[in-house]
Amino acid sequence: MPTLTVTHTTTYRYAVPVRFGEHRMMMRPRDSHDLRLLETALIVRPIATTRWIHDVFSNSVAIVRFSEPAAELHVESRFRAEHYPLAEGGIELAAQARQHPFSYDAEEVPDIGRTIERHYPDPNHLVDAWARRFADQPGDRATMRILAAMTRAIQAEFTYNPRHETGTQDPLTTLNTRAGTCRDYALLMMEAARSLGFAARFVSGYLYDDSLLGGGVGSLVGGGATHAWLQVYLPGAGWVSFDPTNGLISDRNLIRVAVTRDPSQAVPLNGSFMGKPSDFIGMDVRVEIRA
């Protein structure tokens, strides 16, 4: 049970002082049985007023309004938390869900319905065919084997290509190029899982490499910035995390901040400024995790 301190700093720089529109910030995790928040702080410059809301998914969102122009916008989110991750071997599915296909309980379907639906076009059924590769193994239709194989195939067969631009590739682009960043991988696997009848949702948060805690050599991809993965709803186990960037199953190295139906709903920092496009001269993002 590590106690983690996460510092997420974002700085936007401008050639001249500019005025800022309202900003939405999704950087604060929710307390849960697997993550206990001990301390949180949000530091914003220039001077601003902040109010907190829960969005439609009950994620914590800070709404920030600025009162003065500035040539730099600085946002620093800090929190300290105890993490109680579930090991992959601790995932226990209900008997009826251990083999694919299975049916969700009729009482749960209204609540998970949109997460089962496909969200992106696949006119030639390429994502479908790729997903069937894992489901149509003769003699072995184990649910966890299918999802684990899909997770680890993305890690092994695709090229990680970090991108700092906003937005996410559509799943067909990721599949055709065999390349993408963590949010692209998560979206592809979400749509592939949905094509097999699984409920899947997008997760934004942070990745920490516990091999570094004792001074070892890190092996995980995607640290030093926000990270993305997905969760699949499995009866008996609930929402189970899968990180196709690193081939991880369950949440041992993952700190969940926001869960959404689609990646576009989980932007950590979103806002506007009033000025010429050329006024913007750059940004820096840094995520530090200590244990």
Given a cut of 60, whether residue 212 has pLDDT beyond it is: no
Please check whether residues 97 and 149 belong to one and the same domain.
Answer: yes
Name, in order, each residue with C-beta under 8 angstroms of 56's C-beta and a sequence gap of 6 or more: none
The three-state DSSP-derived secondary structure of 269-280 is EECCEECCHHHE
Q: Which two tokens stand for residue 62?
A: 């800070």
Given a cut of 70, whether residue 215 has pLDDT beyond it is: no
Please check whether residues 150 and 209 belong to one and the same domain.
Answer: yes
Please check whether residues 277 and 257 belong to one and the same domain.
Answer: no
Query: Count of domains in the chain?
Result: 2
Q: Give the residue-averaged pLDDT of 56-75.
A: 97
pLDDT band at 211 (very low <50, low <70, confident <90, very high): low
Cα–Cα distance between 1 and 115 in angstroms, integer? Answer: 31
Please check whether residues 114 and 58 belong to one and the same domain.
Answer: no
Given a cut of 90, whether residue 219 has pLDDT beyond it is: no
CATH number at residue 131: 3.10.620.30
The pLDDT, as a whole number, for residue 218 is 46
List the domain range (segments joined by +) for residue 277: 3-83+268-290
Mean residue pLDDT across the chain: 93
pLDDT band at 167 (very low <50, low <70, confident <90, very high): confident
Q: Which of 70-74, 77-81, 84-88 has the lowest mean pLDDT?
A: 84-88
pLDDT band at 291 (very low <50, low <70, confident <90, very high): confident
Given a cut of 90, whether residue 51 has pLDDT beyond it is: yes
Please check whether residues 101 and 244 belong to one and the same domain.
Answer: yes
Please check whether residues 150 and 257 belong to one and the same domain.
Answer: yes
Q: Give the residue-averaged pLDDT of 159-164.
A: 83
Bridge partners of 269, per DSSP, are 25
Please check whether residues 125 and 257 belong to one and the same domain.
Answer: yes
Q: If you search the block for the tokens 């899947």, which residue do you land on?
A: 200
Please check whether residues 279 and 204 belong to one and the same domain.
Answer: no
Please check whether residues 145 and 96 belong to one and the same domain.
Answer: yes
